[in-house]
Structure 1
Amino acid sequence: MSGTAAACIILILFLLYKLIEPGLLFYVPELTPVIRLALLVLMIVLGMLYALLLICISASFKIRNCSVLLLYYLQYLFPAVKLIGKWMGYTQAVCHAYIHVMNRLVLQKKIQIAPESILVLVPHCLQWDKCPHKITRDVSNCRQCGHCPIGTLLTVTRSMHTSLAVATGGTLARQIIQQNHPKAIIAIACERDLISGMEDVMPLPVLGLLNSRPNGPCLNTDVDITALRNLLTTITGEEYERT
């Protein structure tokens, strides 16, 4: 019920703004972007407060996993906030906030999973675009030449005894997950693919890590290896040799 109320509040605020927007544009056009930003911040704050409420409820009743929290957050808040963010031109900021909240919901449970039960799932765009070796079916085909981060990812996951897989899209990613049966996933991708993937595998615990795109989308992308190491250490509770 609280989720429905939050969604209704967001919808009412959005409709009220659309009602007064023509007048604002005519009389005070310079304030319109400020009001849009304030409305977006309010939407995000409402979402964060609702997520915090669910976390508190979870802690009080000692729910063993956060799948219920994630489902409620997705069902009642994120679609509405994302729609408003897209309309205001803040889609990326909303997606980043969403991924951050989802990660926090997983980490706040302080789960510890054996490294062998963790899958690090990465996109094919991390591979050097001129590489002749096919790694989507067998990542060990990587020659670790240093042209792309795949070699470093392979070194890190091997040292931690976790699985590493490269996927070209959502269909292959789902196949890899079904074959490996992981208990948790650390997924690396862009905002769109990361969010859709997190939704697809719920309630399986997923930690999302955004890739960087110095050459534009889907071409020779990169990833923060230190951030990945920190996530692995947190979710396994084990330290490992840094290479």
Structure 2
Amino acid sequence: MPVVSQDQTETESTIGVNSRKQDRKLGDEWSDWSGDLDALEPAITESKLKFMALGLVTVLLMTAGCLLLWYLAEPRLQQLAPAWRWAVHSLLVFGLVFPGLMYVLLFIQVVFDIRILPYRFSERFLFFLLPKAVWLGRRLGQSRDKVGHSFIKVNNAVTRLQGSQVGEPTLLILLPRCLQVSVRKEIKQMAQEYPCRMTTVRGGEEARKEIQKQRPDFIIAMACERDLITGIKDVALSVPVIGIPNQRPEGPCKNTLIPVEEFRAALDCIFSKNNRK
């Protein structure tokens, strides 16, 4: 039996990794991918709980920091004029109360499907929490894709509440170029039941141009967590976005899948039955 050396095995592994990078056109968000499939998470299924938990820890840390600042600054504040002391105390109270209040209201919205905050308030608070939740998640052993997947679920919950406020919305469906052909056909068949427009985009710049051209009331976008988060941050304050993260059994940007039942649920949320063709 021939003996395979460790160097030969490593060389073959390197060749396999390089060939995987060359058999697809990687998007900008995956330019740092080494080609190693073992380092990827092909199908992420996170609930809204992860992002909400990380958001809660973020708010608690902010509250603790504000209390510490108040404690350290109080001796010097006593030396200020009453008007200035009142102003600084008001700012500190605002810093203590506002993030916690926003979190509680957002939590009620997401968990109980009750619209309390204006849509843009909710989105801005989510964008405020996102980088802090990703930073905290990494230090707790959670990848940015897992935290991002959970963030998208929370964002979708907020967007669905907005959906009930629009009578006859115009919808734009954005498909990625890397989607498997069979899944693409199934999506197109579902979409034919609704008054919507569908297009395939090759990246964020092309997606933004299409959105500016179509000017929809809602967007359903399918992509990886990284691309979806970038897109949501770019346009969600102007156009509500429901994101459907893809599954990557062959790695990023090649033959990806999406859970079609999530796509159907998104369509049903945006359109009532009498809006169907």
TM-score (norm 2): 0.57
Q: Distance in 1 between matches of 2:192 and 2:115?
A: 38
| Corresponding residue to 1:73 among 121, 126, 129 | 126
Amino acid aligned to 2:135: L
Classify the secondary structure of the residue corresponding to 1:188.
strand
Counterpart code for 2:149: H
Contact 2:168/2:275 (8 A) holds in 1 = no
State the alpha-carbon separation in 2 of the partners of residues 48 and 210 from structure 1.
29
Letter of the 1:101 partner, please give it.
Answer: V
Q: Distance in 1 between matches of 2:202 and 2:115?
A: 40
Structure 1 segment 16-95 matched on structure 2, within 5 A: 50-54=102-106, 65-75=118-128, 77-91=129-143, 92-95=145-148
Does the 8 A contact of 2:195 with 2:275 survive in 1?
Answer: no
Q: Separation in 2 of the partners of 1:178 and 1:166?
A: 15
Change (3 A) 1:171 1:61: closer
Q: Give the match's secondary structure for 1:159.
A: coil
Distance in 2, matches of 1:81 and 1:98, equals 9
For residues 189 and 115 of structure 2, what CA distance do their matches in structure 1 show? 41
The answer to whether the Cα contact below 8 Å between 1:123 and 1:167 also exists between their aligned partners in 2 is yes
Q: What are the within-5 Å matches in structure 2 for residues 203-218 of structure 1?
A: 203=237, 204-218=239-253
Q: Is 1:213–1:219's contact at 8 Å kept on the other side of the alignment?
A: yes
Over 3 Å counting, the alpha-carbon distance change for 1:79 and 1:185 in structure 2 is same
- How many residues end up aligned between the 2 structures? 182
Q: Which AA in structure 2 matches 1:89? A: G
Match for residue 230 of structure 1 among 226, 240, 265: 265
Q: 2:193 aligns with which of 148, 154, 159?
A: 159
Q: Quick check: 1:85–1:94 contact (8 Å CA) kept in 2? A: yes
CA distance in 2, matches of 1:99, 1:48: 21
Question: Alignment partner of 2:182: what SS?
Answer: coil
Task: Say which is worse superposed, 154-163 or 175-184, in terms of deviation.
Answer: 154-163
Higher mean Cα deviation, 87-96 or 166-175? Answer: 87-96
What is the CA–CA distance in structure 2 between the aligned matches of 1:95 and 1:83, rounded to whole Å? 11
Q: Which amino acid aligns with 1:81?
A: A
CA distance in 1, matches of 2:240, 2:175: 16
> Residues 113 and 184 of structure 1 are in contact (CA less than 8 Å); yes or no, is this contact kept in structure 2?
no
Provide the secondary structure at the position in 2 that maps to 1:125: coil
Q: How far apart, CA to CA, are the structure 2 residues paired with 1:8 and 1:89?
A: 20
Instruction: Tell me, yes or no, if the aligned pair for 1:121 and 1:188 is still in contact at 8 Å.
Output: yes
Report the CA distance between 1:179 and its aligned residue: 0.8
Over alpha carbons, which structure has the higher Rg?
2
| Aligned residue number for residue 118 of structure 1 | 171
Aligned equivalent of 2:205: 171
Against the structure 1 CA distance between its residues 207 and 93, is the aligned structure 2 distance closer, same or farther, given a 3 Å change threshold? same
**Rounded Cα–Cα distance in structure 1 between residues aligned with 2:194 and 2:100:** 33
> Which stretches of structure 1, 4 residues or longer, exceed 3 Å deviation after superposition?
5-8, 10-13, 47-52, 54-57, 59-63
Deviations 1:180-232 (A, max 9, x none): 11000011111100111111002111111111112111101111222211110
- Structure 1 62/85 Cα, relative in aligned 2: closer, same or farther at 3 Å? closer
Cα contact 1:121–1:164 (8 A) shared by 2: yes
Q: CA deviation at 1:89?
A: 2.8
- Identical amino acids, percent of aligned pairs: 30
Judged with a 3 Å threshold, the aligned counterparts in structure 2 of structure 1 residues 94 and 62 are, in CA distance, closer, same or farther, namely closer
Q: Structure 2 CA distance, aligned partners of 1:113 and 1:210?
A: 27
Deviations 1:135-158 (Å, cap 9, x if unpaired)?
A: xxxxxxxxxxxx432222222222
Q: Does 1:185 align with 2:237?
A: no
* SS state at 1:165 partner: strand
Root mean square deviation, CA, Å: 3.3
Deviations 1:51-97 (A, max 9, x none): 4424769x99965x41111112212x111111121233312331122
Most deviating of 170-179 and 220-229: 220-229
SS of structure 2 residue aligned to 1:166: strand
- Comparing 163-172 with 90-99, which one deviates more in the overlay? 90-99
